Structure 1
Amino acid sequence: MAVWAVAFACVIAFMGLGLVDPILPLIGRQLHASPSQVELLFTSYNAVMAVAMLITGVVSTRLGSKGTLLTGLAIIVIFSFLAGHAGSIGQIVGFRAGWGLGNAFFIATALAAIVAVGRGGTAQAVILYEAALGLGISVGPLLGGTLGSISWRGPFYGVTALMAIAFIAVAVLLRGVPKPEHRTSVADPIRALRHRSLLTMGVMALLYNFGFFTILAYTPYVLPHLSAHGLGFVFFGWGVLLAVASVFVAPRLQSRFGTLTTTYAMLVLIALDLATIGVFANDQSVVIVAVIICGAFLGINNTLVTTGVMNAAPVERPTASAAYSFVRFIGSAIAPWLAGKLGTLFSPHVPYYVGALGVSLGLVVLILGRNSLRHIYCRADVSPVALVY
């Protein structure tokens, strides 16, 4: 029961990534905000996540897994409710920042808690964690679109209610989690970036996220004829392909062609997909198909990159993950705002061209740093773990 309580909370936490996607245009219209202002919902969320990754280890080794999980859940409940009650775009942006802090505490600790209290071993825990990730990413936009069709406040209040239930379940059912054996410091992830291999992967992911978040955060603005519910279905399809490809397709491609070679191919495909959307940004049918298909490319790349990160540097995996996430979330914070700004100043085509350029530069960084990545195995020796972990 403790495992299922944490897994349920994981699903809700991962919903937060795409939950607001279908209601972005609605928020802009009702609060009289420009696209670049609305995109700050992603920017504040990811910027705080980036900084918080440096302190999640410090917090979890002092409060313990259960204390950190409950702290993260409580923060999400408070700030998602406040976001739903907000009266201006600036207030929502600020409350989304608080939401990002809670999410960082939660997701950085959830897998370790499942492993600690589960009876099926690490492999089974990872499978459950990945299932929660896939379900959250795919269902988040659908739920957001359904509740958003009633009111833009609906998705925020929905998360509040679900996370409150998760908080109670974890508080009551999660027991027997051992205390951490040693404490970490804020400097540990920074020191890990001295390894060129890990820094290369982080910079590549920072640039790659310009493509990822252009699709996720800006696409609702090039589909103006779709309702919040319709946008929810589009990103539901995107999320399903992302989850399925991440869990089932990526390991097979990785074992056959190797981590780096397959990553090169996925980055090329993602850049081409973004360029296609840029060219046909005025054709709603092409945009919808290209966005959904890109979910598969993004899912495969997410798993490949994460596996590579876990093998990239001779440091503990949580430290490597924190260092890598700190760098890549910087790109996640900048990309949505920049896409909104470029779309307003120039045309809806330009954000996708810039996203394609960012992904292409990420490929160049990976190729230039390939000598430092030769030790990354041709097949996965680590079960794929969610990119956000």
Structure 2
Amino acid sequence: MSGGSAGNPFRQPKAVWAVAFACVISFMGIGLVDPILPAISEDLNASPSQVTLLFTSYLVIMAVAMLVTGWVSSRIGAKRTLIAGLVLIVVFSALAGSSDSIGGIIGFRAGWGLGNSLFVATSLAVIVAAASGGFSGAIILYEAALGVGIAVGPLLGGLLGHISWRGPFYGVAVLMAIALVATITLVRAQPKPARKTGLLDPIKALRHRGLLVMSLTALCYNWGFFTVLGYAPFPMGLHAIELGLVFTGWGLMVAIFSVAGAPWLQRKFGLAPTLYGNLALFAVVIFVIAAFTDNPAVLVAAVIVAGIFIGINNTLTTQAVMMVAPVERPVASAAYGFVRFIGGGLAPFAAGKLAESFNVHVPFLIGACSIVLGIVILAFGHRDLVRAERKQVEVDAHAREGEEDAELTEATEASTGTVS
């Protein structure tokens, strides 16, 4: 690593930018369907709970597939894994746009989630291994890509969805095809790693208390997050473009506070206090949504404000997870992704069922309570958070001095096949 670029997460090699661009498009897929959920429900005569399965099939398959991403990557290499994931996303997003039934779209979204799991887990490892400027800079760049993707996704979904609900699916297929070409062209192929990841390694990694605590906290957090993302469009009563603008505002908050807010708060207050306070404020916002679900103005404002706390949490939690477990980062990422996306996948469907069985306020009340439970769980890993923060400071100090951290070298070998 070059010390000259330390401190600037946006001065990166072309290969890193190619993967980051693909990350932007990949994360667009998360919020892309928000503006078209009501249109799909109306055009295909599907209930809200059926439509929310677009999130559930996508995220649950993505979660389960996370368990095998390291196994695949360590055998065919990081670049081929990225390419395989991108190809699956292109194919299944196009098929979803061509489908004439809600069941077909749900099934193709599951295939899309499989491709996304291969891409997302590997892309984080590649960016961390190849980026200049230290570990924190790599995470900030990754979260910036996440934030931009989440911000642009709803806007694109709203604009294309205003023409047809099929438009956003075709749009992703085209953009991911461009990302596929960039990855093939700019990302350097690496030899296969000397040490192959086992299928059970991510599950075994959850025996480490710090990683288990962070993963369960993220499960609770994602339950609240995806309740808002997956079900809030229905009570808003807005058209596709209007919904796109609302969730673009939300996504911009995610992007800004991922890149600028989270590092500043961590420097000022420390990792653990910032996470506790941020989760508490996020819970308050969801309680407000639960109380004023039938007030569109308050609901819209609260959803946009929620992006602030989601952005902060995404960056700080990702950093903590990568540092807290004594296992390779790709394995830690797979274990963490498996647990948290299970929560994210089940929450939208549960929200639809709860609203149908009780009322529209209940899903958000449950979502807010899940965040509070996450704070309680996080407290059991307080000592691990403190150690993780100290470790992060040491790694970044080495990067600024132009040294190569031993664990970073190990992560590079495990994720990209480079053997020192």
TM-score by length of 2: 0.86
Mapping of residues 1-389 of structure 1, within 5 Å: 1-114=14-127, 126-224=139-237, 226-371=238-383, 373-377=385-389, 380-381=392-393
TM-superposed deviation, 1:4: 3.7
Please, which runs of 5 or more residues in structure 2 have no aligned partner? 1-13, 397-414, 416-420
Q: Is the 8 A contact 1:256 1:379 kept in 2?
A: no
Please, which runs of 5 or more residues in structure 1 have no aligned partner? 384-388
Q: Sequence identity of aligned pairs in percent?
A: 58
The CA deviation string for residues 228-253 of structure 1, in whole angstroms up to 9 with x for no partner, is 01101101011111111111111111
DSSP 3-state at the match of 1:305: helix
User: Which has the higher mean CA deviation after the structures are superposed, 269-278 or 112-121?
Assistant: 112-121
TM-superposed deviation, 1:178: 4.3
User: Which has the higher mean CA deviation after the structures are superposed, 321-330 or 147-156?
Assistant: 321-330
DSSP 3-state at the match of 1:282: coil
The CA deviation string for residues 198-233 of structure 1, in whole angstroms up to 9 with x for no partner, is 111111111111110011111101111x11011011
TM-superposed deviation, 1:349: 0.9
Q: Give the letter for the 1:287 counterpart.
A: L
Counterparts of 2:96 and 2:152, CA distance in 1? 20
User: Which has the higher mean CA deviation after the structures are superposed, 38-47 or 296-305?
Assistant: 296-305
Q: Is the 8 A contact 1:255 1:378 kept in 2?
A: no
Q: Give the letter for the 2:97 counterpart.
A: G
Counterparts of 2:207 and 2:361, CA distance in 1? 38
User: Which has the higher mean CA deviation after the structures are superposed, 308-317 or 54-63?
Assistant: 308-317
DSSP 3-state at the match of 1:377: helix
Q: Give the letter for the 2:47 counterpart.
A: S
DSSP 3-state at the match of 2:220: helix
Counterparts of 1:76 and 1:368, CA distance in 2? 38
Counterparts of 1:138 and 1:185, CA distance in 2? 36
The aligned length equals 383
Counterparts of 1:262 and 1:124, CA distance in 2? 19
Counterparts of 1:285 and 1:120, CA distance in 2? 42
User: Which has the higher mean CA deviation after the structures are superposed, 205-214 or 311-320?
Assistant: 311-320
Q: Give the letter for the 1:270 counterpart.
A: F
The CA deviation string for residues 15-69 of structure 1, in whole angstroms up to 9 with x for no partner, is 1111111111110111111111111111111111111111101111111111111
TM-score by length of 1: 0.93
Counterparts of 1:7 and 1:272, CA distance in 2? 33
DSSP 3-state at the match of 2:77: helix
Q: Give the letter for the 1:340 counterpart.
A: G
TM-superposed deviation, 1:123: 6.6
The CA deviation string for residues 107-157 of structure 1, in whole angstroms up to 9 with x for no partner, is 122244446666777676555434322221110111011100100000001
CA RMSD in angstroms, aligned pairs only: 2.1
Q: Give the letter for the 2:87 counterpart.
A: A
Q: Is the 8 A contact 1:259 1:378 kept in 2?
A: no
The CA deviation string for residues 176-203 of structure 1, in whole angstroms up to 9 with x for no partner, is 4343332101111111111112111111
Q: Is the 8 A contact 1:113 1:177 kept in 2?
A: no
Counterparts of 1:160 and 1:264, CA distance in 2? 39
Counterparts of 1:20 and 1:8, CA distance in 2? 20
User: Which has the higher mean CA deviation after the structures are superposed, 19-28 or 306-315?
Assistant: 306-315
TM-superposed deviation, 1:298: 1.2
Counterparts of 2:284 and 2:102, CA distance in 1? 34
Q: Is the 8 A contact 2:253 2:311 kept in 1?
A: yes
Q: Give the letter for the 2:180 counterpart.
A: F
Q: Give the letter for the 1:325 counterpart.
A: G
Counterparts of 1:2 and 1:376, CA distance in 2? 28
Partner of 1:386: none
DSSP 3-state at the match of 1:17: helix
